Structures are given as C-alpha cells and as structure tokens.
C-alpha cells in the first residue's frame, strides 16, 4: 500500500491491538514505532509517499534472495521482479545484516531516502518492509550498476565494450555534485551524506548518476553548521581528516569525499590504487632528492608495474578500518602532497582514451585537490563545486562554438 509518514501513525497505532500473534506482526510494530519516531524527529512526518511491502512479497520478488549483484559490509542488494502494484518490474532490495546496530542504520536509510526522492539524481526509493528483523528497502533497479563497477571496468559499460565518453564522465561528476548540493541546500533541514563513495552511486540505463546509501546520514540542526558524532562511521579515504581530531562533521566532509570520487573518475582507478601510485611517486622523489641534493625529477616517473602496498591512516582508530571497499588505506601526510598528486594526475591525462580536453581534465584535477584540502575551511562548498563543474563543461561547449 502507498503510505505517507503522517497516515502511517494511525496504521501502526491500530496494529498495536495485536499482541504478538506472530513474529511478523511483532516486528512490524517494533520497526514501525522506530520508523515513526525517526520520521517525526527528522521531518515532522512530512516525507513523500512510499509503499509498505510484506516479507512474502519481497521473498517472492527476489526468488528467496537468490541474486545479489551488489553488497557491502552492512547489507546485501538483491535483484527482484515485482508484479502488480503499478510499480517498475525490476527492483533492487536492500537487506541489512540482522544486528541491532543495523536496525538503526536501516531506519535512517528509509527516513532520509523518503525525503530526497523527488530529485532526479537520487536512486528512486519505492518503499520498505517492516516484517523482517531489520527493515528492508526497495528501490528502482539501476540498469548500469554502480560507479564502482564503471571505474573497475575502466569506464566501459562492460568489459570489452566502448568506453564512456569524456563528456559523459563530466556529466556524471556534475550530477553527483548536484545531488549532494541538494542535500546541503535544497531541503528544510540540511542533510550530510557521510558515506559518499562509488558503491553508493548507481547508474540508470542512460548512465545518469543516482545517489543512495543514507544509512549514516545526519541532518544539521537549524542554525548550526556541524553535528557531533559519537563514532567514526564512514570509509577511510573518503572521510575528512578533521573527523578524527574534532569528532564533528560539517558539509565540507562531503566535499572531501567528492574530491576523492572526482579523482577516481579522472584516473579510472579506485582510490586504493591511486594511493599506491602516490606512494610510488613519493618514493621516487625521495630517491631523486637523495641523488641530486633535493631537486625533484623533471618528468613523472614510470608508474608501472605497480607494487601491491597498503598504507593505513595513522590517525584512524582500528575499528573504523573495514574491508569491503579495500579503500581503508590512505597515503601518509606530506607537506608537498598536492605536488605528489599532480605527478600522478598528469600521466592519467596522457593515458586518457575518451577524448578528454586538456584544460577540462586539469581543471577537474585542481578542483578535486581543492576539495581534498586538509584544512576544511579551504575547501569549497558543494554549491561552488557544482558551479565550477558547470563552468568546466561549458568551457568545452564554448570552445566548440568558436
């Protein structure tokens, strides 16, 4: 059934007369109560309509959760086929691991996704199931997978296929920036995403970017520019360095994560491999300085073959270093860090095979480095980032018109 947050209140209150007739009803009451409390706190129960599915519907739709094209540490994403209800045929069902902590994450995911559903660059949230141990979420199925898939395939839609064009790469970056800008500036209460990474960016049949993954998202209290966090949730490499020193999160934390994403798009590599490349450049520079009294080499060193070396952040507590992305390792700090990154970025342009414009490529690279400044106050806002990307895109358009 289609249901709004406000009308759901009566539904769950009426269901409260049923006292444990079966496990599914007990779970519906418990999860429904938690959902309503969160909806009331976050948006005063003014979210968009969404559908409440039964556990049997989702089990049938996914063939008992048989096909799992995507997964993360906390959940699995299953392909499903829904019949009836007037919904899209193919769906993506997100099922969390059945721990108490995951209930909190799933409820948060539902509440945040239901608030941002109208934006064209959000993965369309269809509804949820409250009869499972942890609420399951249902989304439209993203035909082209995730941005991580695209990066791993060197921006081919499938291995062996033609690469995604440079213009489409820029468009995808701009669409992600637009989605995050909407979170920061387009809602009554600003939302901080807090886990912006390629696995949370989906792509529809036309390679249009769709943001998802709101399990750790937080809304900023009105009149405040930061929120205190009790634990270091996130993915190392995308988490801003200040979080480990201040335990507070601002909108510039999402900007930092976007800078990492933009580098991955430019270099067609996941962040771990980019960090390995930076470390190789760092080692080459040290060797060169030792030989010639401190002068850096005049041209980028040969970066291949790459050694499989892992570098763990010295500031991150051990419990935050989780596997799944294998992105939990970052290069050590260095006063010449921007120079090192530029040494890696330049060969990235030289091997670019999708018709990249040099000025656009280097402008995007500089924007990514600005987003990843160690000092959060030196980073642009997401609105400024989105505007800058539009300027970069329009530069190519205006050049072609001349």
pLDDT tens for each residue of 152-162? 887 766 655 66
pLDDT of residue 328 exceeding 50 = no
Lowest mean pLDDT among 206-210, 329-333, 334-338: 329-333
Residue that terminates a domain, selected from 84, 113, 140: 140
Residues 306 and 392 reside in one and the same domain: yes
What's 343's domain CATH number?
1.10.510.10
Structural domain of 283: 147-401
pLDDT tens for each residue of 155-194? 766 655 667 889 999 999 999 999 999 999 999 999 999 9
Residues 136 and 217 reside in one and the same domain: no
Residues 219 and 168 reside in one and the same domain: yes
What 3 state SS string does 317-365 have?
CHHHCCCCCCCCECCCCCCCHHHHHHHHHHHHHHCCCCCCCHHHHHHHH
Residues 119 and 158 reside in one and the same domain: no
pLDDT of residue 107 exceeding 80 = yes
DSSP assignment, residue 377?
Answer: G
Residues 30 and 167 reside in one and the same domain: no
State the average pLDDT for the chain. Answer: 80
| 0.85 surpassed by pTM | no
Number of domains in the chain: 2
Residue that terminates a domain, selected from 114, 140, 166: 140
pLDDT of residue 10 exceeding 70 = no
Question: Has 100 been annotated as catalytic?
Answer: no
75, containing H or E segment: strand 75-81
Q: Which of 202, 225, 203 is nearest to 213 (CA)?
A: 202
Residues 321 and 189 reside in one and the same domain: yes
Residues 95 and 53 reside in one and the same domain: yes
Residues 227 and 365 reside in one and the same domain: yes
Residues 117 and 156 reside in one and the same domain: no
Average pLDDT over residues 285-303: 57
Residues 32 and 128 reside in one and the same domain: yes
Provide φ and ψ at 79, rounded to 5°. -80, 135
User: What pLDDT does 54 receive?
Assistant: 94
For residues 259 and 315, the model is more confident at 259
254 - beta bridge partners? none
pLDDT of residue 5 exceeding 60 = no
- Predicted confidence band at 19 (pLDDT cuts at 50, 70, 90)? very low
Q: Which of 72, 195, 254, 325 is catalytic?
A: 195
pLDDT tens for each residue of 33-83? 999 888 888 876 666 779 999 999 999 999 999 999 988 888 999 999 998
List the alpha helices (DSSP H) in 153-235: 166-185
Residue that terminates a domain, selected from 140, 167, 186: 140
User: What pLDDT does 312 receive?
Assistant: 28
What's 100's domain CATH number?
3.30.200.20
């Amino acid at each position: 059934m289609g249901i709004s947050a406000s009308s759901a209140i009566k539904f769950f209150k009426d269901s409260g007369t049923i006292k444990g007739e079966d496990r599914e009803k007990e779970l519906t009451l418990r999860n429904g109560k938690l959902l309503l409390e969160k909806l009331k706190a976050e948006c005063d129960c003014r979210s968009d309509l969404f559908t409440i599915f039964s556990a049997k519907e989702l089990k049938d739709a996914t063939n008992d959760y048989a096909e799992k094209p995507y997964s993360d540490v906390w959940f699995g994403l299953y392909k499903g086929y829904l019949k009836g209800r007037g919904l899209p045929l193919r769906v993506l069902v997100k099922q969390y691991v059945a721990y108490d902590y995951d209930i909190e994450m799933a409820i948060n995911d539902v509440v945040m996704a239901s608030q941002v559903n109208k934006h064209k660059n959000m993965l369309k949230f269809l509804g949820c199931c409250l009869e499972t141990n942890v609420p399951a979420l249902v989304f439209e199925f993203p035909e082209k997978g995730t941005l991580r898939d695209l990066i791993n395939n060197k921006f081919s839609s499938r291995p062996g296929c033609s690469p995604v064009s440079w213009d489409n790469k820029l468009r995808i970056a701009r669409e992600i920036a637009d989605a995050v800008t909407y979170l920061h500036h387009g809602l009554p209460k600003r939302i901080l995403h807090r886990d912006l990474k390629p696995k949370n960016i989906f792509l529809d049949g036309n390679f249009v970017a769709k943001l998802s993954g709101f399990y750790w998202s937080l809304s900023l209290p009105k009149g405040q520019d930061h929120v205190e966090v009790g634990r270091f949730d996130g993915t190392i490499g995308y988490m801003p360095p200040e979080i480990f020193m201040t335990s507070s999160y601002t909108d510039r934390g999402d900007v930092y994560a976007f800078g990492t994403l933009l580098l991955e798009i430019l270099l067609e590599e996941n962040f771990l491999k980019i960090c390995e490349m930076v470390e190789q450049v760092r080692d080459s520079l040290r060797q060169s300085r030792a030989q010639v009294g401190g002068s850096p080499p005049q041209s980028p060193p040969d970066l291949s073959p790459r050694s499989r070396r892992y570098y763990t952040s010295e500031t991150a507590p051990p419990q935050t270093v989780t596997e799944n992305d294998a992105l939990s390792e970052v290069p050590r700090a260095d006063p010449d860090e921007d120079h090192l990154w530029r040494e890696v970025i330049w060969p990235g342009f030289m091997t670019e095979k999708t018709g990249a414009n040099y000025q656009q490529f280097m402008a995007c690279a500089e924007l990514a480095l600005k987003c990843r400044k160690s000092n959060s106050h030196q980073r642009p806002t997401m609105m400024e980032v989105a505007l800058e990307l539009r300027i970069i895109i329009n530069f190519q358009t205006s050049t072609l018109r001349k």
